Structure 1
Amino acid sequence: MLKDLASLIIKHTAPSRRHLTPELVLRLITPACPLWRAREEEIPFKEPFWAFYWPGGQATARYILDNGEMVKNRRVLDIGCGCGAGTIAAVKMGASRVLANDIDPYAVAATSLNAEINDVSVETSMEDLIGTNCTEFDTILIGDMFYDEEFANILFDWLQRLRGEGKTRNRLFLTIFSLNDDAKSNIQRAQLHENLCGRWTFKRKALN
């Protein structure tokens, strides 16, 4: 099944290095792709979040590539892996195991495809791991998954439980594009220590 999905992904995306991690080649929907300007009914994918390299995902992967010691020899879980950039970065930086997790089969297929393009092997899962104990992992990556208030609350409740059970040990990488008051409140509620690892500025380019 994933091979069939990969063929469709290749048909509608383009290889790109125009992002914060140019050392990674990622197949994305870019301005050069017809789908960039397509109407919703013309898109062959349902909510193709994986086809775009979101700011939080870029920041996560960039930080890992610049600070490889944070994942080296560690077991990493990439929740909501999307295009797989964080997963690929962790593998390249020497993680002992990386599991790319997403409930969208297209995201898993895209991650596998992008991993192949970047000459790395990855392990994937479509199981919903949010809410589980994740005891076999040392580091959890969560990038750009706090866009919906209801879902963000689910995530922070889970993180709070992991912290209470001693499962995190300062091993969470959360990237939030806009750290608004609600996000800060949730971080405090989950009793997570906020540590700003980096700040990146994205330029907006007008499309004709």
Structure 2
Amino acid sequence: MTRSEPDSRDSADSAAGFVRAHTRLGAPPLVPEVRVHLAEEAIAVWEATERQVGRSGLAPPFWAFAWAGGQALARHVLDHPELVRGRRVWDLAAGCGVVAVAAALAGAAEVTANDVDPWAGAAIGLNAEANGVPVRVVVGDVLTGDADGAQVVFAGDVFYDRPMAARVLPFLRRARRAGAEVVVGDPGRAHLPGEAFEELARYGVPVPRELEGVDVKPTRVLRLP
């Protein structure tokens, strides 16, 4: 499926303008300490993305929502700042960047947020600015690497389909072998390799019913041993 990429003629400013135009600055329910740009209606922002690009069949605008796995991770980081304080953090498939922002607020020495979607990059930049924290944004596919020497690696809601899971797990394992603490947030996605992880915490995460079919999603925070 084609990613929701802005036209190559679009500047970073126009991408940021698109994010501002189709979202509102608010707080995810589980992490009211964090302000992020969020869409009010999933279908509306998806259709707007397709009109902007001029083609249909794009992947969903994951950057426009605070997904359950990311909210749970962000809550866990804010409740346990010792996990990131003074450390280099990598937020994989960061989406809106709620985890990256939480890590920066909790005292991380350096935070990198990565996503393949250029509009996610714009959203992360805006969200970091809204919270007054520095977050380095890396746009592109990094799954052949190992998180570039990060000491803590977060991945929220990344096991939603088989191809993604098949690429993410080796990345996380390489990061772990390189010495990083690897922590994921997952609301029971079908392709989570549960046997690979151990549980740290559980949360009931309020979510949009139109996206998840429920009002509260039980979500676990897990670490890679």
TM-score norm. by structure 1 comes to: 0.83
Within 1, Cα distance between the matches of 2:45 and 2:23?
Answer: 16
Partner of 2:84: 71
Partner of 2:202: 199
**Does residue 17 of structure 1 match 2:27?**
yes
Residue 39 (structure 1) shift: 8.5
Partner of 1:98: 111
| Structure 1 residues 68 and 39: alpha-carbon distance in aligned structure 2, compared to 1, 3 A threshold | closer
In the alignment, which of 138, 155, 158 is matched to residue 142 of structure 1? 155
Residue 157 (structure 1) shift: 2.5
The DSSP-based 3-state class of the residue aligned with 2:165 is: helix
Structure 2, unpaired ranges of 5+:
1-10, 53-57, 211-225
For 1:167, the aligned partner's letter is A
| Structure 1 residues 20 and 41: alpha-carbon distance in aligned structure 2, compared to 1, 3 A threshold | closer
Partner of 2:144: 131
Within 2, Cα distance between the matches of 1:118 and 1:154?
Answer: 31
| 8 A contact 1:13–1:28 mirrored in 2 | yes
**Does residue 167 of structure 1 match 2:173?**
no
| 8 A contact 2:111–2:134 mirrored in 1 | no
For 2:156, the aligned partner's letter is G
Percentage of matched positions with identical amino acids = 33
| 8 A contact 2:30–2:206 mirrored in 1 | no
Within 2, Cα distance between the matches of 1:148 and 1:120?
Answer: 32
| Structure 1 residues 134 and 38: alpha-carbon distance in aligned structure 2, compared to 1, 3 A threshold | closer
For 1:145, the aligned partner's letter is V
Within 2, Cα distance between the matches of 1:102 and 1:206?
Answer: 25
**Does residue 109 of structure 1 match 2:122?**
yes
| Structure 1 residues 205 and 80: alpha-carbon distance in aligned structure 2, compared to 1, 3 A threshold | closer
Within 2, Cα distance between the matches of 1:58 and 1:204?
Answer: 10
Within 2, Cα distance between the matches of 1:137 and 1:59?
Answer: 21
| 8 A contact 1:80–1:102 mirrored in 2 | yes
Residue 36 (structure 1) shift: 4.2
Name the structure where strand makes up a greater proportion of residues: 2
Partner of 2:44: 38
Residue 160 (structure 1) shift: 3.2
The DSSP-based 3-state class of the residue aligned with 2:111 is: strand
Within 2, Cα distance between the matches of 1:159 and 1:86?
Answer: 16
The DSSP-based 3-state class of the residue aligned with 1:197 is: strand
| 8 A contact 1:65–1:90 mirrored in 2 | yes
Residue 42 (structure 1) shift: 4.5
Residue 17 (structure 1) shift: 1.8
| Structure 1 residues 150 and 42: alpha-carbon distance in aligned structure 2, compared to 1, 3 A threshold | same
Q: Name the count of aligned residue pairs.
A: 193
| Structure 1 residues 114 and 206: alpha-carbon distance in aligned structure 2, compared to 1, 3 A threshold | closer
**Does residue 177 of structure 1 match 2:187?**
yes
The DSSP-based 3-state class of the residue aligned with 2:66 is: coil
The DSSP-based 3-state class of the residue aligned with 1:111 is: helix
Runs of 4+ in 1 over 6 A off after TM superposition: 204-207
TM-score norm. by structure 2 comes to: 0.77
The DSSP-based 3-state class of the residue aligned with 1:23 is: coil
